[in-house]
Structure 1
Amino acid sequence: MKPSAKDFGGYLKMLRQRCGMTVRELEDKSGVSHSYLTQMENGRRGVPSPDILKKLFEPLNTSYDDLMAAAGYLEPRVDNVYSELKNDSSMFLDMKGQYNVANKTLDLLQRNNESLLEDEVVQIPIYGEIKAGYNMIAEQNIIGYKVASKKEVSDGEYFYLIVKGDSMIDEGIREGYKVLVKRQSFVENGKIGVVIVNGDEATLKRVFYDGSNVILQASNKEIPPRVLSIGDVMIQGQVRSVVFDV
């Protein structure tokens, strides 16, 4: 999950002050406007785009990957940005906890640093609309990529699917959210699967088995369960986690 605008703004301000620069000086060196920088530091702008970060990392005497991690685009690397924050933790703590990102960082450092260092990220494809007729998922449906922890997806092939409709709304899974799906042709009993029925586009349902039948249970009180023959259902995969952008 991306950090809040306030958290990232505090981190940016710390880097600037550590370099002994004013906002105007950072503007001159980066080409990013004074007003934009001020709004970011005050938490009144969202987390900046990667293009803005490319302009800032050299003047702030840090690396592009470190800024991308702090902004939530990449998994954080303990040996880079987080070890820097540990060294400068007194600066954060003297500011009465204004920069929550520092506290979160130090907690991560104290909890199993070795496993974090070994953790890597991989690019996972994002699929928009998936319809029957394909042999599971197809490259034609890829609309982008999103990073995921290599450990999280080490047991198989994964993809992200953008949720459409409100069939799982009672579990907080809303349209536009992304679900991380393990590609497989079956779903464990009672788990959420990506399912295609009668040529419709992929939908999310809890899958239950009853002899030779499958029960597809929505998490929406207005949608009744469906009982179908196993042969009438195409399983695209099993949902492992739900992702939403803030």
Structure 2
Amino acid sequence: MEIGDRIKELRERKNLTQSELAEMLGFKTYTTVSKWESNDNYPKGRDLKKLSEIFNVSSDYLLGLTADNLLTKVVDFIKIPILGTITCGEPILAEENIAGYREEIAENLPNGELFYLQTKGNSMTPTIPENSFVMIKKQSTIENNEIAAVLVNGDSEATLKRVKFQGQTMMLMPDNLDGHMPIIVNEENPARIIGKAVKVSIDL
């Protein structure tokens, strides 16, 4: 039984609809819950903890790590690099740019090359809290209104911003407009997308 099957079983035991469970989790629609139950996606971090509290079960149970199958289920962990200062002219994941690593369960990760950035400042609050870790999937393009890691200041600094397109103009928008201004990308102020934000983690 996969995690989505367990969530569906527990939800139905409590006589909850997908919409009702989504509301208890703080979601506006049931889409995320539906994807979990069809095993198209998996709850992580805070959502996994909330589900455990709602259903009064352990995270291990939801993940299938019960006493019955702990000996047969092997969980693979992957170390994902945390980028520190980006060294101008060096590859993004060059050794001198790596400040540490975070371990993640392999089966919960999206495909592709991944790295973490730790946020500094509050330009993306409340969407991305200050001092949180944001997982980035390395890619050079982004859809309108998605959050991306972008190299600015001569490729020497990585920033997280929401990318908006108006015609041929790309703008890097803060979610927090209190004291933060949009950045308009042009020849005088170039920028380069290095990846898409796919997950936020917070250490308490």
Specify the TM-score bucket, using the shorter chain as the normaliser. 0.5 to 0.7
Higher strand share: 2
The counterpart of 1:216, out of the listed 161, 169, 172, is: 172
Deviation at 1:208, TM superposition (A): 1.4
Residues 64-83 of structure 1 show CA distances to partners (whole Å, capped at 9, x for unaligned) of: xxxxxxxx9xxxxxxxxxxx
Partner of 2:186: 229
Deviation at 1:153, TM superposition (A): 3.2
1:156 equivalent to 2:112? Answer yes
TM-score normalised by length of structure 2: 0.60
Bigger-Rg structure (1/2): 1
Question: Does structure 1 conserve the Cα–Cα contact (< 8 Å) formed by 2:65 and 2:73?
Answer: no
Instruction: Supply the distance in 1 between the matched residues of 2:109 and 2:163 (Cα, whole angstroms).
Output: 22
3-state SS of paired residue (2:73) = helix
Instruction: Supply the distance in 1 between the matched residues of 2:150 and 2:87 (Cα, whole angstroms).
Output: 10
Partner of 1:195: 150
Alignment of 1:59-208 (within 5 A): 103-109=58-64, 117=73, 119-130=75-86, 132-174=88-130, 176-199=131-154, 201-208=157-164
| Cα 1:157/1:103, change in 2 over 3 Å | closer
Long gaps (5+) in structure 1: 1-71, 73-96
RMSD, matched Cα? 3.2
Kindly provide the amino acid, as one letter, of the partner of residue 194 in structure 1: A
Deviation at 1:154, TM superposition (A): 4.7
Long gaps (5+) in structure 2: 1-44, 46-52
- Equivalent pairs: percent with the same residue? 35
Partner of 1:35: none
Instruction: Supply the distance in 2 between the matched residues of 1:161 and 1:241 (Cα, whole angstroms).
Output: 11
Instruction: Supply the distance in 1 between the matched residues of 2:186 and 2:169 (Cα, whole angstroms).
Output: 4
Kindly provide the amino acid, as one letter, of the partner of residue 185 in structure 2: L
Question: Does structure 2 conserve the Cα–Cα contact (< 8 Å) formed by 1:214 and 1:228?
Answer: yes
